[in-house]
Structure formats: C-alpha cells, structure tokens
Amino acid sequence: MTSIADIEATELDQIKPKGFWRGVWSRFRKRRLAFSGLIIITFIYMLGILAPVIQTHDYRETDLRNTQQGPSAEHWLGTDRAGRDLYTRVVWGIQTTVIITVTSFITGSLLLGVSIGLVAGYFRGWIDAVIMRVGEVISVFPDILLIILLAATLRPRIVEFARNIEDSTGISGLVSSGIVDYFVIGVALLPLSWFGMMRLVRGQVLVMREAEYVEAARAMGTSTPRILFRHILPNVVSPVIVSVSFGIGAIALSEVVLSFFGLGVQPPRPSLGVMIGDVTARGGASVSVLRDHPEQLLSPIIVVWLLIFCWNIVGDALNDVLNPRAR
C-alpha cells in the first residue's frame, strides 16, 4: 500500500526541474499568434540574409522593355518603372532592414542603453543626474524629426570622412558598398534607441542595488564590475528583451522613413524605404501608384507592415511570459 506521501514523492521525482528560459520558451510556444509572429519574423529575416542566393535577377538590372509589369513567371512580383525586378529588390531591401535592425539594436540598445543604465542606476549621484538630463533634452525633440535632422547633417561629414580614409589607405569602395549609409543611419537612430532602454535598465537597477543579495555581495568584498555584471545584469534581462522586441519595429520603420526621404540608404542599393519613395515620387504619386500598379507599392509595404505587427505581438507575448507578476 502506498501512502499519499509516496505518491507525491514519486510524482515530484518525475517533474524535472525546468530552467527559467525553458519555462519561458514553453509558455511562449503556447501562444499561437505570437509564435506564428516569431516564425514570420524568422522567415522574413532569412529572406534578407539569403538575398544573394534567392534573388532571381540583379537588383540593379534594368529591363526597359518590361517596365511596370504585373507579376509573372519571369518577375514574381512584377517590375518597377525602370524594369527592375521587384521581388529581388524587396529581398535586398529586407537585407538592409536586417543589417540596420541588428546593428542598431546591438550598438544603441545593448551596448549604450544597457551599460549607461547600469552605471546611472548603480552609482546614482551626479552621473545619474547628468545622464538623465541629457536624455531629457533629447526626448524633447519629436523622434522622427531628430533622426532626419541628424541624418541630413551628419551624412556629408561622414561621407567626406570615409572618402578621406579611402584616399589615404587605398581601400576602395567604402562609400559605394553602402557601409557608410548604414553607419549614418545607425548614428542617426542612436538617440531613439538608447534613452528608453537606459531608463528601463536604470529603473530596474535602482531597485536591484538595494536587494539583500547585492548587499551581501558588497559585504563580501565583491568588486563593482562583478556585482554589476554577475548579480544585477542577469536580473534586468527580461525587461530588456521585451523592450528590444518592441523597439526593433520602430527602428525598422525609422530606416524606412529615412530612406523614403533619400537620407538613408542610397541607390543603387535597395531598401524598402527607397522603394516606397521611388514609386510614389516621395509621396506625391502615392494614390495613382496604388490604383494603377498596386504591386509596386504593396510589395515593400506589406513586408514593413508584417515586420512591425509581428515584432509587436512577439513583444506583447514576451511581456506576459517574462513578467509572471504582470500576468
């Protein structure tokens, strides 16, 4: 005869202790909508990464006898005014989005935002005050306007600088490769990406630094960097992930807007924003294009739409899954 205690013991044995992240993952997977959002994001990002392999034409190749064509076997999504293959250009445009989102998320949000947030929250005092005031000044500006202003002002300087490097070192193609464009966009997006993240991390750290385990670590003589990176940082990872997944959609959209105005990625390199700006003549011809050649406007737009939507639902789900208290 087995007692209740025995049953409980065997059942408890069978439950394997799950790690935090495994639990998060299994809860996330149960959310069908968000999970399919993640799959769509992965798919779109794969398209961008594999652009050189899956392209059907060259993105610069113009076919002036087949301009403004609808979708066909030859051109899957049709062609634009210069007879360039829309599918190929969309795929390369996605690659631009991939590069921009990944680099500005790493530089702006992760490196700058998290580290400054850690410093401000942990040391407090005048460092914190200065950082917060700087952030306040920056957040006074409307986002998009500030980004456009930065891009317009910095671009000539940065291009000039890159040309100088090319001349003095003999490395060629720095400007034409588009690296400079990415750099300009990355810098212009910095104010957008760092402050929100920094404020978030700072808030968490302000709470964490008073926690007993941190006090214990301090009492044991643990060095400050170790306290910051081993004891505090792991505890702010969850909100950081949520904020990143909301932020990436905004970053992707900002690049599209910049390139739409001709301040971001420069032709011939495609970007979704460049495509939208091209076909609509910077907005003026939007209506006639949508009526006469919807595929030209919709191909880049649907990708942008899907990306922003999916990052948002993923962010929502992550927020629920990672913050059990908020559920």
Partner 1 sequence: MLAYIVRRLLWTPVLLALAAFFVFMMGTWAPGDPAELRLGNRATPERIERERERLGLDDPFPVRYVLYVADALRGDFGESYHYQGKPVLEIIAPKLWVSLQLNLAALIVAVAVGLPLGFYAAKKQGTGKDPAIVITMLILYAMPVFFTAPFLILFFAVNLHWVPAAGWGGFFSSQIVLPALTIGIPGAAVFVRHMRASTLEVIGQEYVRTARAKGMSNFVVNYRHVARNALLPILTIMGFTLAGMFGGSLIVELIYGIPGAGRLSLDAIFQRDFPVLTAFVLLGAAMLVLANLLIDIAYTIVDPRIRLQ
Residues of this chain that bind partner 1 (CB under 8 A): 33, 133, 136-137, 140-145, 148-150, 152-153, 156-157, 249, 253, 256-257, 260-261, 276, 280, 282-284, 286-287, 289-291, 297-298, 301, 304-305, 308-309, 312-313, 316
What does the alpha-carbon distance between residue 178 and residue 154 come to, in Å, rounded to a whole number?
15
> What end-to-end distance do the CA atoms of the chain give, in Å?
41
104: Cβ contacts below 8 Å, ≥ 6 apart: 185, 186, 189, 190, 193, 251
Give the amino acid at 154. Answer: L
What does the alpha-carbon distance between residue 36 and residue 21 come to, in Å, rounded to a whole number?
19
Write the DSSP string, 14-53: HSPPPPHHHHHHHHHHT-HHHHHHHHHHHHHHHHHHTHHH
Q: State both tokens at 268.
A: 């011939």
Handedness of CA 159, 161, 162, 166 (dihedral sign): positive
* Smallest distance, partner 1 to C-beta of residue 127, A: 18
Q: State both tokens at 44.
A: 């779109």
Q: Cβ(296)–Cβ(289) under 8 Å? A: yes
* Smallest distance, partner 1 to C-beta of residue 112, A: 18
Can you say whether residue 170 is alpha, beta or left, with left for phi > 0 and alpha for psi between -120 and 50 degrees? left
